[in-house]
Structure 1
Amino acid sequence: MKIGKIIAILLLFSISESLEAQNKVSMKIDSLLDEYFAVSNSHRELALSLAENARKLAQKHGEKHNEAVALECLGVQYYYRGDYNKARDFLNQSLEIYNEENSSTGLASVFTNLALVEQDLGNLNQAHYYYTTSLVYDRNSHDSIGMAFTINNLGTLYLHKGDFQRARAYFQKAYDIGKSVHHLEVIGNSIGNFGLLRLESSNPDSAIPYFRKALSIAKQYGDEYAQAIANINLGLCMIEKSEADSAERYLTIAARTSEELEDNELQIECLLAKAKLMLLLNQPELANRILFSAQKLNNPTERKKTSAQIFTLIGKNLLLMNQPEKARNYFLQSLDIAKEIGALPEMIDAYKHLAMFYSAISMYDSCELYIDLYAKEWSKLTIDTTLPDTSFVYEAKSNNKNILHRISKNSQLSPLKLLVTLVFALTILWAGMIYLPKILLSLRKKTKKDNSNTSAK
């Protein structure tokens, strides 16, 4: 009996030690993941290291749920870096474990991140499937904050496809949820997205207060990535308003943040905005050098929407540099990519610049064809922006009399008239670039001839 009691005591002691050791391991993994979430947006290299250490420790000790969380964190970090193959791989490994556990919260999160990967790559239908699947799991787990983020992301998906009305409805719903649970990040994201909606609708004045509010909120909860995005968007608004100094200021701040975060995506966005600024300053050659640098960063993972934007901008600059055939090739590449991924705003931009190209070389039938395509597709992007988007509009009005810039109900030029005017202006510019030097040379020769005749007399 005594030996039996001793064995039992030793067994209990062994089990207790094992449980204590396992508890220490769990606490260590939890600590690593807590540290990861604290630095995931601000110190990406440290975040990657923390996630990898948590994954190895969880895998070694059979902590399946924490292993799934760590794998998802790794997927997110590689998504931030634009390494989509690795991102997919880690996210799918995480998905398998969440499926085994039947974890609604985990599944909702990983489906959202998979959707973000597909959206960046231009696989919009697959992204839509992942977002809607994520919403199902968000509802199952009664996660209102998760639902708000997913709904916001669905809104950006429709924004990229050019469906402004539906995008706005999703942003509104996400904002309402954020307000109801007092979640600053959700509110800030929604407000920033309303700004994007206004900017995409060519209304920079009305977009500015949204981006400023989004920047202010991002500072409140210390999200450097969100601050950089807001600064880039404010810079783009200033470029649209031809305020180069203000644009330079915002873009410099954003570029500094993107370098500190070592964020590929942010660096590309900064370069695209910087190139637009160079174009505003009439420096197309410098703008193209910046754009080629952006495409070099984009090449390893080929984000298709970004490629379409870059090619259109390169073509636009080549047209200004009197290289029409090269410009046309870039416009057509952009159009092909935009059609492939169903990105309506990029398609419209390509149509517009192809119309300008054909006008510049006096092929007016082709020019008219692309003007018609532009006008037809543009009509799909119409949105009644005179209506307020959220209660933020009314709050902003009561807090600051100058923060709102209401949109004029009477647009001076329709999109079609605006494009025709632009084409006409470009044709005159093109003719001037070609014929003005010849006229000046002819006048110079005539002056020399007159002078020689006078001398002869």
Structure 2
Amino acid sequence: MKHYYCLAFAFFLSVYTLSAQEIQKIDSINAILVQNSSLKTDSLLVIFENNLKAAQKIDYKKGIGESYKNLATTYGYEANGEKRVAYNLKAIRIFEENDLKPQAANLYGEMGYGMKRDNMERAEYYMNKGLKMAEEGNYKEVLDRTYNNYGVLKEMQGQLDSALYFYKKGLAIVEERKYTKGLPYSYSNLAGAYGQMGNFDLARDYFYKAKAIREEINDRKGIAENFTQIGEVYMAEGKPAVAIPFFEKSLPIARKEDYRFLMQYTYQQLSEAFKQMQQTDSALYYFEKYAVFKDSINSLETTKQIAALEIEFETEQKENQILEQRAQLAEKDLEVRRKNTYVYGSLGLAIILGLLGYLIYTRQKQKNRQLQKENELQVALAKIETQNRLEEQRLRISRDLHDNIGSQLTFIIISLDNLNYMLKDTGQEIKDRIVAISSFTSVTINELRDTVWAMNKESISLIDLKNRIEALIDKARESNAKTQFEIQLQDSEKHFEFSALEGINVYRIIQEAVNNALKYAAAQTICVKMKISDFKYKIVILDDGIGFDINEGKSGYGISNMQKRANDIDADFKISTTVNKGTKILLQSKLEKITM
């Protein structure tokens, strides 16, 4: 007998071990990301169909649902909308029937994303359903992708601010999870939104960041998407000739991966690019290819079948709800009958239970009130903190306006008073004064614009600052044609950014140095050099003017203002000058070791 029990236990243990191994194998196959896979869609379909059979064989519900979902995603890349919807609905049934809420939330979001080209109203319905479930459960592995996909829906509807909001929320979760494979989605989505807003350089930077990661993880479908997207940015800039090579790089990859939606869209973009270049033969050639794909993908019959599947799914859900309600009513009816049977015999017990219930209810109600008060207190504290931050921001802005604009407005007032006094003897001098005041007012307005420019940005990119400096130099050239200007920028950090405070103070220091060289130094040549390395900066402003003796203490307010601005951003500021040998001004990050 003892030997029999040992054999039975060994058999049970072997079956359990085998099942665990099967489950692990099924989960590892379902974990394959369709978009990142180097396999063609035909191969992926065979793999996921076999995985579905393996999961069904051992009745592994989660594995069955995930296999259906992966089959739906793969058919989506093949542009088979009918099967995509059918398999997604099968997966949803499995997830909901077995209380697999994270998987259900994720799939509702994926269904909404997959329907974005067919029916935006239904797409938002499914997306909101998935997002609500994910937020209630705080499923971060679902929220990062769902936020990104929801941003795509907003972008397609032209709601770019909302799209950026959801893209940034998705990126924050991806970075928090350190999920490298999710970064390209966030970067590409942000790039698309910035491109539509007209910030083409920033859009391209994000697309290249996404492509670099996708090359590392061998995400061929994603690389094809990025090539097409970079081409789109150049199209938006009105550069079809530059865009065409990127579209042509995308097509062979998309064709090899059997990514039909992307092929269709890229053919359309190529047709439009050649059309803009007035190369009608090529434009017609690619338009015909686009039309063939469009007809095969968006047939009326497929649309009807998808709608029928959705109706069938929703009808089934409603029927299930009706059955559940009937079961609940039957159960309540049975409960009432039981209570009526024992009501007289257990009256005393019912009274005691009622009292206990009332006490529990009262206590719970008090607890809920306490929680509500605590929540209200937290909200109030958050509002106070927000108000304090806004107040600090207003103070910083007011100080900046006072320092940069106040003194100049005072000068204008004094000049106007003097002008009023001089009107007694009208002459050329009065006219000259009026012109001088008008010019000074223009300078004041420009400085105000510079301040507002910095206020409207959370950060200032190197490209933004360089453009601003070039605009300053262009104005200087107009006012003094005899002086030669030069700008040198060495950048080893493509994505270097200044904070708004750093950016405006660095710009003001350069502006003050250039203006001083023009007004007082009689310089023939002015050079602005900038080098960025290891996320630190070094800026040098050189002129070959008359210089001055810095030991005489007559440097004026300009140098002290530059020194103060450098201190405000915790930067090193040095000035060296010699009479008749020019002036050199150095601004750099603390502990900077850059050589120029």
The normalised TM-score by structure 2 is 0.49
Residue 42 of structure 1: CA displacement? 4.8
Matches within 5 A, 1:22-421: 22-34=19-31, 40=37, 42-121=39-118, 123-302=119-298, 400=493
Deviates more, 1:13-22 or 1:110-119: 13-22
**Aligned mates of 2:296, 2:267 — CA distance in 1:** 17
What residue number does 1:326 align with? none
Q: What amino acid does structure 2 have at the position aligned with 1:179?
A: E
Deviations 1:13-43 (A, max 9, x none): 3323332332343344235335676964653
> Is contact 2:92-2:104 (8 Å) kept?
yes
> Is contact 1:171-1:190 (8 Å) kept?
yes
**Aligned mates of 1:184, 1:395 — CA distance in 2:** 27
> Is contact 1:172-1:390 (8 Å) kept?
no
Q: What amino acid does structure 1 have at the position aligned with 2:46?
A: S
Deviates more, 1:214-223 or 1:393-402: 393-402
Residue 133 of structure 1: CA displacement? 1.8
Q: 1:225 to 1:131 in 2, by over 3 A?
A: same
**Aligned mates of 1:19, 1:237 — CA distance in 2:** 56
Say if 2:5 is the partner of 1:8.
yes
Deviations 1:163-183 (A, max 9, x none): 122112212222233333333
**Aligned mates of 1:43, 1:396 — CA distance in 2:** 43
Residue 290 of structure 1: CA displacement? 1.5
Residue 57 of structure 1: CA displacement? 1.2
Q: 1:154 to 1:267 in 2, by over 3 A?
A: same
For the residue of structure 2 that corresponds to 1:299, the secondary structure is helix
> Is contact 1:119-1:127 (8 Å) kept?
yes
Q: What amino acid does structure 1 have at the position aligned with 2:242?
A: S
**Aligned mates of 1:99, 1:49 — CA distance in 2:** 26
For the residue of structure 2 that corresponds to 1:120, the secondary structure is coil
Deviations 1:365-410 (A, max 9, x none): xxxxxxxxxxxxxxxxxxxx99989879689988646999xxxxxx
**Aligned mates of 1:387, 1:210 — CA distance in 2:** 24
Q: What are structure 1's unaligned runs of at least 5 residues?
A: 305-384, 405-457
Deviations 1:183-217 (A, max 9, x none): 33443322322221233345544532232222223
Aligned-CA RMSD value? 3.3
Q: What amino acid does structure 2 have at the position aligned with 1:18?
A: V
The normalised TM-score by structure 1 is 0.62
**Aligned mates of 2:214, 2:294 — CA distance in 1:** 27
Q: 1:34 to 1:204 in 2, by over 3 A?
A: closer
Name the structure with the higher helix share. 1
**Aligned mates of 2:28, 2:52 — CA distance in 1:** 12
Q: What are structure 2's unaligned runs of at least 5 residues?
A: 301-452, 466-490, 498-596
**Aligned mates of 1:140, 1:299 — CA distance in 2:** 41
Q: 1:390 to 1:47 in 2, by over 3 A?
A: farther
* Higher-RCO chain (CA-CA 8 Å, sequence separation at least 6): 1
CA radius of gyration, larger in: 2
Residue 61 of structure 1: CA displacement? 2.1
Residue 68 of structure 1: CA displacement? 0.9
> Is contact 2:154-2:160 (8 Å) kept?
yes
> Is contact 2:102-2:134 (8 Å) kept?
yes
Residue 130 of structure 1: CA displacement? 1.5
Q: 1:389 to 1:288 in 2, by over 3 A?
A: farther
Residue 150 of structure 1: CA displacement? 0.7
**Aligned mates of 1:205, 1:139 — CA distance in 2:** 34
**Aligned mates of 1:7, 1:159 — CA distance in 2:** 68
Q: What amino acid does structure 2 have at the position aligned with 1:264?
A: R
> Is contact 1:219-1:227 (8 Å) kept?
yes
Between Structure 1 and Structure 2, how many residues are aligned? 321
Residue 53 of structure 1: CA displacement? 0.7
**Aligned mates of 1:176, 1:396 — CA distance in 2:** 24
Residue 88 of structure 1: CA displacement? 0.9
**Aligned mates of 1:161, 1:300 — CA distance in 2:** 25
Q: What amino acid does structure 1 have at the position aligned with 2:257?
A: L
> Is contact 1:42-1:225 (8 Å) kept?
no
**Aligned mates of 2:264, 2:226 — CA distance in 1:** 15
Name the structure with the higher strand share. 2
> Is contact 2:454-2:460 (8 Å) kept?
no
Q: What amino acid does structure 2 have at the position aligned with 1:25?
A: E
Residue 254 of structure 1: CA displacement? 0.8
**Aligned mates of 1:39, 1:137 — CA distance in 2:** 26
> Is contact 2:72-2:85 (8 Å) kept?
yes
Query: What percentage of residue pairs aligned between the two structures are identical?
Result: 17
Deviates more, 1:89-98 or 1:108-117: 108-117
> Is contact 1:104-1:140 (8 Å) kept?
no
Residue 111 of structure 1: CA displacement? 0.8
**Aligned mates of 1:173, 1:7 — CA distance in 2:** 60
Q: What amino acid does structure 1 have at the position aligned with 2:294?
A: N
**Aligned mates of 1:251, 1:211 — CA distance in 2:** 14
